[in-house]
Structure 1
Amino acid sequence: MTATSADAAMIADRAIYEVFIEAPIHTVWDTLVKTDEALPFFFGAVCDTVDGLKPGKPMRMITPNRKFASVVGEVLEFSPPHRYAHTLKFTQYEDAPCTVIYELAEIDGGTRFRLITENVPAGTKTEKSMVPGGKFITENLKALVETGKPRFSGRMVMMLGPVMALFTPAQCRLDHWPLVEPTLEMPTPEKETPHG
């Protein structure tokens, strides 16, 4: 079963969000994998890496001011312009990581874009965030590529990002989620040790 119009189809522990984008595959790919600017379809985050998106390398989605990380993961596959996969862990939740796959295919003079989530922990906050998130990403990527600007929802996220930063949990601070030694565990507060 395949979802259409950016709706999700649940297949066991897998969801597929699919949309047709009226643009060449390379245009969609280049927009998807940008690492040098805030991306409205990724909730205004910047994709941050050490030396580009490469299999086995860490990645994280960070605020434009470089103060917070919303997502951390590891690139599993990077096959331009057809497939990109990474693990995903929301930094504000204690949930186990899942896998996100982006698949692009040239069809009918445009691009079929699929966002696939796998192994999302059932009954978790991550699961509750993924369904609306998948739809938001596909719809805003489509709008941005086709028109040069995201949907209203994407524009609002970009506008409200600085305000929302005021409510971001301390555990999401960027220093808790380094790229050089990535960890998918929740940071624990440092405990003072008695000197003696």
Structure 2
Amino acid sequence: MTDRVFRIQIQAPIERVWRELTKTDEAQGAVFNAWLHTTVLGEGAPLQMRTGTGKNVIVDGRVLVHKPYTHFAHTHRFTQYEDPVCEVHYLLKEKDGGVEVTLRVVGMPAGTPTAKSMESGGEFILKHLKRLAEGQGLPFGTKLMYGLMGSMEFMLPKRCRSTHWPMQGDSHG
């Protein structure tokens, strides 16, 4: 197991950055256009990152910390892999007229598909979080990638289907 830390400075209000990380009413452009689903955004609540159709669960976990504007953390398991669970922590701190965002992956299972995905995913998430929070929008290439990902959803392994990952208290699971 290993930890990995990613960090970025964002010139935007902390409330805007927080919303991008915790919104449940639209796709999270910084997080591969996945939709955050939960019964309630609070500690101990189930949490999933789903595809836009809701037919597949990409990440399954539980909220560990929900302290608005400073710390959001959850357990993290990619549904397509058999890898152990790790934790994802977003730490926000007002600094230099903006927000310093630290993304910390705790207990990442070294040498696994999860570790490989998290290594590249951490940089991607923070880079796109910065663009969105600063009002720049997503680059064309990212929009194209998201469109292709959506059209190829049918190719996800059957183990990712939402029916295999019921969320207690969720009428859509």
Same fold (TM over 0.5): yes
Is 1:56 aligned to 2:47, yes or no?
no
TM-score by length of 1: 0.82
- Report the alpha carbon displacement of residue 40 of structure 1 after superposing the two structures with TM: 1.6
- Report the alpha carbon displacement of residue 70 of structure 1 after superposing the two structures with TM: 0.3
Cα distance in 2 between the residues matched to 1:99 and 1:72: 11
Larger deviation, residues 147-156 vs 168-177: 147-156
Flag the 1:153–1:142 CA change in 2: closer, same or farther, 3 A: farther
Cα distance in 2 between the residues matched to 1:124 and 1:156: 28
Cα distance in 2 between the residues matched to 1:148 and 1:171: 36
Per-residue CA distance 1:51-90 (angstroms, 9 max, x = gap): x211011000001111000000010010001001100000
Cα distance in 1 between the residues matched to 2:155 and 2:75: 25
TM-score by length of 2: 0.93
Cα distance in 2 between the residues matched to 1:153 and 1:79: 33
Runs of at least 4 residues of structure 1 off by over 4 A?
A: none
Equivalent of 1:35 in 4, 18, 24? 24
Q: Percent identity?
A: 41
- The one-letter code sitting in structure 2 at the alignment partner of 1:134 is G
Cα distance in 1 between the residues matched to 2:116 and 2:109: 10
Q: Which runs of 5+ in 1 are unaligned?
A: 1-11, 183-196
Flag the 1:19–1:153 CA change in 2: closer, same or farther, 3 A: farther
Flag the 1:15–1:153 CA change in 2: closer, same or farther, 3 A: farther
- Report the alpha carbon displacement of residue 166 of structure 1 after superposing the two structures with TM: 2.3
Higher relative contact order (CA closer than 8 Å, sequence separation 6+)? 2
- The one-letter code sitting in structure 2 at the alignment partner of 1:88 is H
SS at match of 2:110: coil
SS at match of 2:108: coil
Q: Which runs of 5+ in 2 are unaligned?
A: none
Larger-Rg structure: 1
- Report the alpha carbon displacement of residue 151 of structure 1 after superposing the two structures with TM: 3.2
The residue aligned with 1:78 is 66
Cα distance in 2 between the residues matched to 1:173 and 1:26: 33
Per-residue CA distance 1:133-176 (angstroms, 9 max, x = gap): 00110000101111241234532332222222021110000011
Cα distance in 1 between the residues matched to 2:141 and 2:116: 18
Q: Is the 8 A contact 2:71 2:90 kept in 1?
A: yes
- The one-letter code sitting in structure 2 at the alignment partner of 1:30 is R
The residue aligned with 1:3 is none
Q: Is the 8 A contact 2:4 2:108 kept in 1?
A: no
Q: Is the 8 A contact 2:47 2:62 kept in 1?
A: yes
